[in-house]
Amino acid sequence: MARIAGVELPRERRIDAGLTSIYGIGWTTSKEILEQADVAPKTRVNDLTEDEVTRLRNIVENNHSVEGDLRRELQMNVKRLMDIGSYRGLRHRRNLPVRGQRTSTNARTRRGGYKAKRTIAVGRKAKETARKGG
C-alpha cells in the first residue's frame, strides 16, 4: 500500500503509471522521479518495498508541487488575473473561453451545455407567441 502526497496509488498498476494518478505528475515527470529514486518503472505498486516508497515520497514532496499546493497555486494565478482586470481575468470572471476561441458557436463547456441553449430558445419562442396573441 503506497501513499504518496496524500494519494493512495492503485495497487495493481505499474509504478510509472501509478504515479500519474497524483495531480501534477504526468508521464515525463513520473519517469524522472523513478530515475532519481532508482526504482524500476515496470515494478508493480504492491511490489514496492518500504524503502522505495520512502524514496519516492521524499522526492515528490521536496522537488515537485503537487495536489493541493498546485491546485491552490493555479487558483491564485487566476484570481490575480481577475483582480488586476486583465482581459484573461475578465474572460474567467464571465465564464467565457480565455484563449481566443470563437463563442458564436461552440464554447459549450464554458457557456453551458446544449440543454441550456435549448431551454433559452424555447423561452424566447414562448414570449414571441404570447406577443402575437396566438
Question: How much is the pLDDT for 115?
Answer: 72
Asked whether the predicted pLDDT for residue 134 surpasses 60, the reply is no
Model pLDDT, residue 97: 93
Burial 41-64, CB ≥16 within 10 A → b, else e: eebebeebeeebbebbeebbeeeb
- pTM score of the predicted model: 0.72
Q: Which residue has the higher pLDDT, 69 or 127?
A: 69
The reply to whether 37 and 87 lie within a common domain is: no
* Domain membership of residue 26 as a residue range: 3-65
User: What integer is the mean pLDDT of 21-40?
Assistant: 94
DSSP type of residue 47: G
Average pLDDT score over residue span 11-34: 94
Is residue 93 domain-shared with residue 58, that is, in the same domain?
no
Quote the number of domains for the chain. 2
Residues 33 and 74 in one domain: no
Choose the final residue of a domain: 32, 65, 98.
Answer: 65
Mean pLDDT of 20-28: 95
Residue whose C-alpha cell reads 419562442 in the numeric block: 125
Q: What does the pLDDT read at residue 106?
A: 86
